[in-house]
Amino acid sequence: MQPHIEVPYQQCLSIKGQALTGLSENQNLILQNEELLKDAYRWMTLTRVYDQKAVALQRTGQMGTYPASLGQEAIGVAVGMAMAEQDTLVPYYRDHATFLLRGWPIRDLLLYWGGDERGSAGGPVQDFPISVPIATQSSHAVGVAAAMKIKGEANAVVTTIGDGGTSKGDFLEAINVAGAWQLPVVFVISNNQYAISVPRTIQCGAKTLAQKAVGAGIPFLQVDGNDFVACYDAMQEALERARSGKGAYLIEAVTYRLGDHTTADDATRYRSPEEVKEAWSKEPIKRLQTYLAEQGWWDESQEKAWQKSCDQRVEEGIAAYKTMPPEPAEAMFDYLYEEFPEVMSAQLDLLYRKVERMRAPDSVVDELELDGLERDDSANDESLDEE
């Protein structure tokens, strides 16, 4: 039998977009803030338009594998709007909404997923690049938070992770350190119900992911991840706590991944149409749009104008991405090392030769192979293995 653990759950808008009763003073202030909510809606819709275009680029062979954030726009926008510019974001790979809010040009986001490291240059200089390895960013985040505490800075670190990532040792070690040292870091779990193709209930035996914070000794909260108001309020409280020196906080945002895990996935193999249809009835953008419309703050003409603006902005980003001249293949070494280590010279030479072969006409390739290039490559591989 599992011990009883009381996990607070926060929701402010019903799935029909109506304000709930019994809310806190701050939550009611958010609900009355027309400009803030309209901004949130604009960022959420821009993110969705960008997402759809990015998937289309991958499907037409113009970009690499891509993880869409379809259905998770509310928590991403809430994180981005609640953070101060001087805070530090240590993200995982599905934070497109937060990246846009942190100032990443759309061109740079596309460059990153197109395999170009120049795409990692967007956003405030202290923010970390996208982490594709699972949960390693959690350890990086507590390292940054420890440095902030030592320096006496009144800033905070926000690090994000998917539900599957919370099963990794890196995450559990990170929250333990954050609790023991009372570090200014906010952990945000986007619980989208699937760790790739594995349902959350199979991935982890705990009733909630938020309760993992109990063992680390840090406060926790479960929030409706499709409810921008609830997410934003939770982020404000967590960040205020971190910046005032009171330590870490963990938020589990319960949402749903409406698309595939990545463009390399096919979610129809493990999810029923009925389940996805029900999830669409709770999606965040329609919910906030309904609330805005019922307050008289948003109408059809505003919607058409904004959608047109989103299309234009994304198309401009795509055009800038497509016209960006490619970097040489050896640039990967430049981004990996501040000072090139001599021990990597053999691998760099191999790369030069392979690039030369790929660019050569077929007849020249045949000549190179006849000259024994294939045998030379093999010999080099063996020597590297021995090292």
The letter for the amino acid at 265 is D
Residue 333, classified by CB atoms within 10 Å of its CB into exposed (0-12), middle (13-18) or buried (19+), is: middle
Rounded CA gap, 210 and 8, in Å?
A: 9
Cβ-proximal residues to 272 (8 Å cutoff; 6+ apart), any chain: none
Kindly list the distances between the CA atom of residue 26 and the CA atoms of 12, 29, 30, 223, in Å, as whole numbers in the listed order: 11, 5, 6, 15
Catalytic, 261? Answer yes
Quote the strand ranges of the chain, DSSP E. 9-10, 88-90, 157-162, 185-191, 194-195, 198-199, 220-224, 249-254
Structure-block tokens of residue 371: 């000259």
Which residue is catalytic, options 48, 102, 257, 287?
257
* C-alpha closest to that of 15 among 292, 293, 286, 298: 286
- Cα distance between residue 130 and residue 119, in whole Å: 10
Which one of 96, 102, 241, 261 is the catalytic residue? 261
| Closest-CA residue to 76 (of 163, 196, 158) | 158
- The Cα 252–Cα 210 span in angstroms is 5
Residues in a beta bridge with 158: 89, 186
| 96 noted as active-site residue | no
Copy the structure tokens of residue 328: 């040489």
Measured in degrees and rounded to the nearest 5, phi and psi for residue 213 equal: -70, -15
Residue 270 a catalytic site member: yes
Encoding tokens for residue 226? 């499709």
Known catalytic residues are: 257, 261, 270
